[in-house]
Structure 1
């Protein structure tokens, strides 16, 4: 059986590559492998894992120690990874040596470090919530503002406490026009979130429309925004989410029944969920990445620069 590639081989860089070289290599590899661009989801996941591991100095050190990357591993002389692990999935870093994979509840790692001058200051970097829903144009739609504020409260109360390194940014100008109501940045994963408020009941989601009593209800057009943000941030895994809110605040309503293949997932450009499922899916998507404890201050600065 062919030997699996190391993270360095996945990105096509030398074990001595600098952070700048790793980031540049990842941008190229992400464009080639992302499912939205015709690539394979498994290849994209391997590329993302390699980047998230190597760009984090602590994770990279653990990885190098586990596999002797800087010495004999790439020459084929290091011991084979233990069963259940491989260089491309973290291998014995997770299972064989006792070194736990970074967790969403680990102490936050800032890149660059907080004592290094960057595009944003220390206070801005450590803040979890940025911006608030705001009026657009001369007249603000009060219903929209109320809906967006409810979404913010849902995320602040039920998601962020479990993901201390995740950052919520509200009210962004979308690339190419329009707006993005909310984004959650956790490690190198980004969730774009819009919302709708619909009466209680059972709806069916077929991947394109919500259906109730034979009527089609089209959710916000998030997929084009996901594609554009993925193009602008190829180092991130970007997904889109529409949360359906109930007028009475019941997190379990409305109920959404999924057609086969339309279930929520991290490789979908658009996912539709109710409030309680948004909480669960955000914790899963943002909290299980290879570097959920990292705040990349450069990426956060770029997002904040797009606020309106």
Structure 2
């Protein structure tokens, strides 16, 4: 990344988790080097000053982090390296391309130990400060469901915690590189994203529901049960926005419907009307029960390229820009 397109964090050479004290120390060091009176460059000094003034102010930093997470603050380091690059594949020239599944290497690497891109060794050798500390990148679960408003908060947290437990128990052990981020701010509007699950070059956006057991008919827009229609969380526009933000990823949406009795195979979700016969790959958002989510997410994440890769810049933007 060129210096002109670097984020404020990269200009000051600090991680996105830096404290006010870290910012002040980094600014003093960078300012001494960049100041024209000390042989520095005026343009570089202005960038250093702007970075400091933005990050040291809590409100300005929050606003910047939102633009940072949504990709509008600077050109992403993980953006495709050449025009015509598409999602679901590592950027041209990426070291992760060595880990992409090839026709002559059918072994699935999802269960392998995580590979960090860029590696922390590479970053250290280049004299750079990683966007997030290595211990943070190694965590598989980040954040907790956030209490939003007063009405229905307890029920919302209950269903979201069920999703966290399901993913933690059934998906994360099988895919060590998967990273679950809970309680995100949506870049599409003022709503929230319950969960985001990143592994390699695939990202799943997940919403949660809690309904009594029984048979429900999904017609592509509502769940119907006993003459009652229930609209699931609106995720399609969030998925599209996240796909725009992260063009190097394959982004899909999932709504998991938990049963009030705790049975992972309840409620039963039958496809009817517009959703019948379309196939999973053609739907923007899948609506499934807990067992279906565990099965579907494992298949989606493990079948992508380099599923044992932890995409550090993308994880950093999720943690700081949207969390």
TM-score > 0.5, shorter chain as reference: yes
**Contact 2:258 2:266 (C-alpha < 8 Å) held by counterparts:** yes
> Following the alignment from structure 2 to structure 1, what is the Cα–Cα distance between the partners of residues 277 and 138?
36
The answer to whether the Cα contact below 8 Å between 2:180 and 2:196 also exists between their aligned partners in 1 is yes
Q: Distance in 1 between matches of 2:84 and 2:190?
A: 27
Report deviation, 1:279. Answer: 0.1
The gaps in structure 1 that reach 5 residues or longer are: 1-18, 31-46, 64-89
Q: Measure, in 2, the Cα distance between the counterparts of 1:53 and 1:23.
A: 5
Q: CA deviation at 1:58?
A: 5.6
Which consecutive segments of 4 or more residues in structure 1 shift more than 3 A? Answer: 19-22, 53-56, 99-102, 137-140, 260-264
- Using the alignment, how far apart are the partners of 2:185 and 2:261 within structure 1? 30
Assess, with a 3 A threshold, how the Cα gap between structure 1 residues 128 and 172 changes in structure 2: closer, same or farther: same
CA distance, structure 2, for counterparts of residue 163 and residue 264 of structure 1: 24
2:284 paired residue among 259, 265, 269: 269
Deviation, structure 1 residue 53: 7.6
User: Residue 94 of structure 1 corresponds to which residue in structure 2?
Assistant: 103
What's 2:84 paired with? 29
Equivalent in 125, 141, 154 of residue 142 of structure 1: 154
- Tell me if the contact between 1:243 and 1:278 (Cα under 8 Å) persists in the aligned partners: yes
Q: CA offset at residue 199 of structure 1?
A: 0.9
Q: 1:190 aligned to 2:203?
A: yes
Asked whether the 8 Å contact 1:192–1:239 carries over to 2, the reply is yes
Alpha-carbon RMSD:
2.5
Structure 1-normalised TM-score?
Answer: 0.71
Q: Answer yes or no: is the 8 Å Cα contact 1:165–1:292 preserved in 2.
A: yes
Q: Does 1:210 align with 2:210?
A: no
Instruction: Provide the rounded CA distance (Å) in 2 between the counterparts of 1:131 and 1:112.
Output: 23
**Structure with larger RCO (C-alpha < 8 A, sep 6+):** 2
Matches within 5 A, 1:105-120: 105-115=111-121, 116=123, 117-120=129-132
- 1:154 matched to 2:192? The reply is no
- For these two proteins, the number of residue pairs brought into alignment is 239
Q: Secondary structure at the match of 1:162?
A: coil
Q: Is the 8 A contact 2:203 2:252 kept in 1?
A: yes
Measured in 2, the distance between the counterparts of 1:136 and 1:156 equals: 23
Q: Quote the offset at 1:208 in angstroms.
A: 1.1
Matched, 1:306 2:318: no
The CA distance in 2 between the partners of 1:138 and 1:207, in whole Å, is 30
Query: SS state of the match for residue 203, structure 2?
Result: strand
Q: Give the CA deviation at 1:102.
A: 5.3
Secondary structure of the structure 1 residue equivalent to 2:90: helix
Where in structure 2 are the equivalents of 1:14-93 lying within 5 Å?
23-25=80-82, 28-29=83-84, 47-48=86-87, 51-52=89-90, 54=92, 56-57=94-95, 59-60=97-98, 93=102
TM-score normalised according to structure 2 size? 0.68
Instruction: Determine the structure 1 residue equivalent to 2:137.
Output: 125
Report the Cα offset of residue 276 of structure 1: 0.2
Aligned mates of 1:129, 1:150 — CA distance in 2: 14
Decide which structure has the larger Cα Rg and report it: 2
Aligned to 1:41: none
